[in-house]
Structure formats: structure tokens, C-alpha cells
Chains A and B, each alone.
Chain A
């Protein structure tokens, strides 16, 4: 056993704290770097105030976000809905003096071009989501999934995942993916809610 004793004596001090330092530094780096490399920002075409529009509509969200006769939902209202107040084609006029509204009227309304909104809550194409089933049938509130978006005066930055192209709101703003609606809208959240409420949660309920 002599040779073992010699070897132990020559060993450097157990610098285990270096392991901790490495762990802490790179763990922090991972937390900091992951969102920075994974997410990019896209500008919205122009600013939009839900607050101003809600006031104009006497707080009635359904003026713009309504169910069509066939049960589909006007999540992002079409240009025709905007034209009801702002006017159509060359007759379109801004209702106020905000710069954003002028951009909207000149660039989109007068040219009849739909506004290319970046949609925070858009689910991936493989997901079939029905507002009718959730709002009209299950009686869920808009705020459950969309938070206070309906009262916002400005549109917050839209971030999307560089790899998947999906909105950051789907994974959630917490990089660990912790939380639930309205902070995030992952499949787990859908499944959890379906499970809790005794609704079928097999694959083809949502994935077509």
C-alpha cells in the first residue's frame, strides 16, 4: 500500500470550489445567452391602442372580436371591419391625430391591403384551436389566455423563435417555461386545463 500513500501525498488540494464556480458562471451564462441567441424581434407595422378603440366601442370587445355565422372567430378583424369606422378606399380618413393612424390609413386602408400584424398568440400551424369551443361553449374569459392585452395602450415588442418561427408568447417569457396562461400557451397548459375540466385531451382533439 506504500505506492498509494505516496500518490495521495502528491495530489493538489481539492479545489472543489472551482467546480462550483464553473457551474454558477456557465449556468448564469446559459440563462443569459439562451433568450439572446434564440429570440429575435420583429416590429409591428404600426402602433395600436386597444384602450382607445375600447373606449370608442364603449368597452364592447365584440365590436371587433366577434363570432362569425359559421362559428369562426374574428381574432384579428379584417380590413372591412376597420373600414366601418375609418372609411373605405380613397375616402378613408384618420379619426384622430395620431401618427400611427395616418400610417394605417395611407398605407393600408387606402390601398386595401390587410395589415400584416405580428400575432402574439398565434399557435403553430399543426394546432387547430377554436375560440367557439373555448369562449362560447366553455365560457372562458379572454383574459385567461390573453391577459390584459385588451386594455393595452401600446403594442409590446413581438419576439419570435429563430429556429421555430413561433411567437415567444407560446413558450412564455420565462425561459424555463415555468408558469401558465396568460404568461405562456404551451401544449402542457392546454392538456392540463382539458384534464382538469374533464375534456378529451387526445392528440386529434387539437392536432389535425
Chain B
């Protein structure tokens, strides 16, 4: 054998062939392919023992069960939020806002990761220690109190029913400021309507047991009350074919609720209460009037009014609902064994008008469903103890006072407008707790102006939101997965319900429970403010608050307390006369056109309204990147362009086409969006999804769509003074070329 070039080549060819015939090459290629699945940045659930814990999301009123992994070294990590099947109302359901809180909590791009403070000389914001932030804040507030200007400190908070809400009430009163306002809510409107008509505000709707439900302009399946509980009631209506519950939806847009309803009454915008009064008139004409209604205060006046102003023909003129359909609903409502008429927050979460709510409640009174299964019920008071003796309110005029209104409710909008006008005094410090008024307004432009002009802006929030991004001092708060807190009685709940959450994992080591932030603030101020909150921690405060709910450990491990059964058979009337009040000098079961209708003009010929969705919320809670993923092209097109809806005929009149880029402008502001033509949108209107268009929250959420609240023009309710932002007169004009969505 000659070992020459040819022999060598043969050997090499054989060797290469041999290597390829062995598993080396194919196996390596296979493994390299698999290796590419395992980049270091691909999220992989931590390995470890699986643990379960119950908790409660106060933002949605959902009782949740959380899956955690006990990691070997790094403690517990939350991996999933699911429903708690043991909860008597929620029964194991969840909404996207619950599920996606895992991602939102762990995504540092959205979180306030440590206390932040603006350096006064350079104006640059820097991370600081908790001690440094509290020392400066304590000094500012202490100096103001010493100078007799404690009243120039205002606090805006999310929810008065929480432990931190009650703490803030005590803290601010003891400190010497009357200026504590909470985000406006339909709970306030229902409470006022309940107080006027029945002498008590703790009322709710027994949806689960109703067989005929008429919903007046409220997004029943898109965020009403505790959305999980409402959807569960809806599922129950549909599950029994022999006793199928009927749902009638009254609103101008073919919404999700309208499409799921048995009957959709497409009414003119803002005229839902007129439809309710039209049905009231038909019931009275047919003699289907309960004894409670017949003996009500102002019944004769009410009867005459609906007969004169809300006859079927007049209702058709006002609302566009035909007399035939009106009669069909009136008949169904009157004949149903258990029927309820429901009012609630508007599509953008606005509180609603007291007179409108009274008109809907009047319909319930006529039906005689007060205190009956499937009707309007009174909630039992929650067995919560106060956090201490009464703290007297300082004798200083409130910035949000609305004295000319008989049932005035402290309003964020009024506070902002008065503070900006310096009426009766300007603000020195604004502390925003767990809410984001710069984004969610109600009128975002006004809130932004207030936050820009106030000398010191403080934000206590889990999120680096629009407000926190502007704040001079930011304190990192915990989410419901990592901190103590509670929540109570979601809107419209027929029975008293309470939820409590506790730390289940250390997600942001710098974050403190909202209650602990308030306690730290009180301690930093010292004096009466600290004395008003003598608790070492919010955990101790919660234990004291819930002492009448049994063993504290058992309570927080279960995560909820719920009144066993709604109180059927009882509907105590606590009005002065002991009768239902339908009409009084201060408030009436009546309908007046909303101010936005009167504001329609040649320049602004359309009405803007919101599109509600459980996928986007109402903007008060942050979205997570996951929630953006579940939005389709009819909400967010081309990844970052908001899509608004308009009836094709309206678009034709305005010479607009599908996919046009349009500018929607009101007197308050403007937004830009893509146009989608939708037969289900009422003519003369433009429907804008709410909850998108943030300018903060990190790269995943920033600049995705446009913010509804930037074009909103707020009107005050004539009875409660609460801001209404459901309808705004706008102009819609082409702002760019067609891009198909």
C-alpha cells in the first residue's frame, strides 16, 4: 500500500462519512437547536415546591388563589393567580387584571423600585433611602403645620373602604387638613341615591337571583362591580334552560353586554334614564304599582311627570326606542317573577348622575322588589372596628367643598379646579396614594396642570405611572401580592363582602404595604398625626380592624369574609317619613339631557363615549404587557395606534373612510386614532377604548394608543357634584392617510 495523496483522501472521506454516520453531528445539531430555546433571558418558571395561598385583589374585588414556588434559596415566587373556588360570590373566576398582576408585579420597568426624590438644586430625581425620603417629607409637612398651613396639604387616594383609606382619614384630620378626596366612584352616586330614596346608601342588586334584568347603560359584563361575581350571575341565568334569566341592555352601542343580552334597546346617548322613566309610565298606566311605590313620597308628582313627559311617543322622540319595544320590556319586567333594574358606573367608569340612578331605582320601587330575592337589597354593615376614637376635623374650608349642592360629595375635579384657582387657597403639597390622576383624570389636562403647579408632589404607588413620573418624592408601595391590605363591598354587591390580602412573596424588597407607607408618613410628621395611628404595622391595624370577624390568622389565610346570605324580607326605610322618596326638593327620579348634548355645535358635532373592556379596564389599574397581547386589531392597530369606532353613515357625512387617521378634539384636549367603521356604533358618536395611551409604565406600555381622558370634558352632576366624563362633544377630522386595520 502506498500512503499517497489518494489513500489519504480515501481515509478522510471514510472518516468524514464515519463521523456523520455516528450520532455526533446530528445529535449536536439537535442539541444546538434545543439550546436556542434556552436563552438566558427566556423566562422559565423557578423549580421548587408548589404552594397555594388565598388572597384578594381589591382593585377588581376578586377572591384569588395564588400559586407560588418555594425556591431553594431565594424564597417564594408567585407564578400564577387563579380564582378561589371557595369564595361564595366569585366562585373561582378571574379577570385579566387579576391574572396579569403576576407579570406586572415582577416587571421592574413598571414598578417604583426604590424611594425617589428630586434633588432641589439640580432638579434631577435620584433613588434615595426610605429614611432620607421620609425625613424630607416629614420636615416639609412639619414646617407647614408649624406655619399654620397644614390645610394646604391635600391627599388624593384610591378607595375610602380600605384600611389605608381609613388611616389617611385619621392622619389628615389629626394633621390639620380637611382636603382628603378619593377617586370618584359610582358607589358614591348609588349611596346618595339610596340615601335620598330609602335613607340608606348601603344597597345592592341581587343579580344572581334575578330572572329579568334591565341594565341601564352600565357595562354589566365589562367591569360592573366585582366583574367575576357579575359574570357568574350571568352564567347562572344561562345555565338553567327552564328558568332562563332574561337580560335587557339599554345603551347606544352594540357592546359586549348588548350582544350577550336577549334584547338590546339602542337608545340615544345619555338617555338611558329616560327609557327607565318611560317604562315607569307604562307600569303606572297598567296599574302594576307596588304598595311601597303607591305610598311613596312624591308618587303623585312622579306619576304626573312621567305621564306628561315620558309617554311612549315622547320616549321615542327623546331616546329613539320604539313604543313597541318599550312596551315589550315593560311587560316582561312587570310579569317576571323576579326582576331588577340596574344602574351603575358608565362605560368609562364614571360615577353616573344621581337623578338617573333614582329613575332606575324608582322602577325597582314600582316593581316592588325591595328586599326580595332578585331585587334591590340592603347590605348588612361590615363588622369592621374603627381604627381608634373619633378625630375631629379641622375647622378650615375644604378645597373640594360643594356647598351649593344638597348632596355634594367631595370631588377630585372640584379640588383640582379650586386649587388651581387658589379658591379659597392654593395647595402646598399634594400626596397621591395608589392612583394616577395625571392619566385617569377625570380630566387629565386639569390634573396634569395641578401636578405641575403644586410646589411639592408626592406619589405613593407601586407603579412608576404618569403621576409618579412627575412627583418630587415617590415612595414604593406593594401590590396585593406582596403586601397587607383589604377591600370591601364592590359596587352593587347585594351582601356585605370583605377581602384581605397579605405578603405572599418578596417581589420588590423596597416596597412597603400602602398602610405601612401611611404609618411611616404619620411617624415622620409626628405629633397628633402619629398619635392618631398608634399601630406598629398595618398588619396590627388590620388585626384590630377585623377583630369581629374571628381569628385574624384564619381570616387572612382564607382571604375573605362574606355575609352568609343576603338579607331577604327586610328593607328598612330610614327616611324622615319612613316611606320611599321618589321626588324631593333636592333630588328627583328624573331625567335631564346631559350637558354634553347641550354642548353639541357646528364645531363639535359628535359625542365621544368610551368603549369598556375587561381587557383594558378603565385606566385606574395598570395594564400589563400580557394584557396588550390580548387586544385585537379593533382596539389597538399596528401595535401602537388606538382604534375608534364610528357608524358608517356618520363617517360618510364627515367624508371619512375605514382606516383613516383621525383627530378627535374637544374643548379640553385631543387624541389621534385610527377609524374603524362599525354598524353597532350609534350614529353621531365616536367610541373610544379607554385605558390605553400611557406616557409612563416603561417601554411595553408607553405610547400604545391614545388616552381617552385627554379629550374628556367633565361636567358636574347637579345633585352630587361628582364629575361625569361619559359623554363629551367633539369634532372628528382626518389627520392622516388610510391604513387598514
Contacts and interface: CB of A to CB of B under 8 A. Distances in A.
A19 B11 contact: yes
B38 A165 contact: yes
A15 B14 contact: no
Interface in A111-134: 113-114, 116, 119, 122, 124-126
Interface in B31-85: 31-32, 34-35, 37-38, 44-45, 47-52, 70, 72
B28 interface: yes
B16 A26 contact: yes
B27 interface: yes
Contacts of B6: 11-12, 15
Given A26-B15, A163-B34, A164-B31, A34 B24 contact: yes
Given A163-B34, A164-B31, A24 B2 contact: no
B19 A30 contact: yes
Contact of A30 (B24, B35, B49): B24
Interface string B1-20: 11010110011111111110
A76 B25 CA distance: 35
A27 B2 contact: no
B23 interface: yes
Contact of B19 (A27, A124, A175): A27
A18 B49 contact: no
Nearest to B65: A70
B31 A34 contact: no
Contacts of A1: none
Among A21, A161, A163, max chain B CB count under 10 A is at A163
B22 interface: yes
Contact of B13 (A11, A19, A29, A125): A19
A30 B7 contact: no
Secondary structure dominating the interface of B = helix
B21 interface: yes
Nearest to A26: B18
A29 B19 contact: yes
B52 A12 contact: no
Contacts of A124: 34, 37-38
Given A25-B18, A26-B19, A114-B48, A13 B1 contact: yes
A72 B50 contact: yes
Given A27-B21, A31-B22, A38-B27, A20 B35 contact: no
Contacts of A72: 50
A204 interface: no
Contact of A22 (B2, B11, B23): B11
Contacts of B51: 78
A119 to B, nearest CB: 8
Nearest to B72: A116
A70 B34 CA distance: 32
Contact of B34 (A15, A23, A166, A177): A166
A110 to B, nearest CB: 15
A80 to B, nearest CB: 8
Contacts of B27: 34, 38, 175, 177
Given A12-B7, A22-B15, A164 B49 contact: no
B32 A18 contact: no
Nearest to B31: A163
Interface in B320-343: none
A177 B26 CA distance: 11
A176 interface: yes
Contact of B52 (A70, A114, A163): A70
Given A25-B15, A164-B35, A30 B2 contact: no
A191 interface: no
A125 B45 contact: yes
Contacts of B21: 23, 27, 30
Given A19-B13, A78-B50, A24 B18 contact: yes
Contacts of A114: 48-49, 70, 72
Interface in A27-72: 27-31, 33-34, 38, 70, 72
Contacts of B31: 38, 161, 163-164
Nearest to A165: B38
A54 to B, nearest CB: 22
Among A19, A33, A165, max chain B CB count under 10 A is at A19
Contact of A16 (B10, B16, B18, B49): B10
A79 interface: yes
A11 B2 CA distance: 11
Nearest to B7: A15
Contacts of A33: 24
A24 B14 CA distance: 8
A29 B17 CA distance: 12
Given A26-B19, A78-B70, A114-B48, A18 B14 contact: yes
B47 to A, nearest CB: 8
Nearest to B13: A19
A13 B21 CA distance: 26
A27 B355 CA distance: 88
A78 to B, nearest CB: 4
Contacts of B48: 114
A70 B50 CA distance: 12
B14 A19 contact: yes
A193 to B, nearest CB: 21
Nearest to A72: B50
A31 B7 CA distance: 25
Contacts of A29: 18-19, 22
Among A25, A26, A114, A119, max chain B CB count under 10 A is at A26
A125 B402 CA distance: 59
A76 B72 CA distance: 14
Q: Which 9 A-B residue pairings sit nearest by Cβ, starting from the closest?
A: A30-B22, A22-B14, A26-B18, A27-B18, A19-B14, A22-B15, A23-B18, A78-B49, A30-B24
19 contacts: A11-B6, A12-B2, A13-B2, A18-B10, A19-B10, A22-B17, A23-B15, A23-B17, A27-B17, A31-B22, A72-B50, A78-B50, A78-B51, A79-B49, A114-B49, A119-B47, A161-B31, A164-B31, A175-B27
Interface of A: 11-13, 15-16, 18-31, 33-34, 38, 70, 72, 76, 78-79, 113-114, 116, 119, 122, 124-126, 161, 163-166, 175-177
Interface of B: 1-2, 4, 6-7, 10-19, 21-25, 27-28, 31-32, 34-35, 37-38, 44-45, 47-52, 70, 72
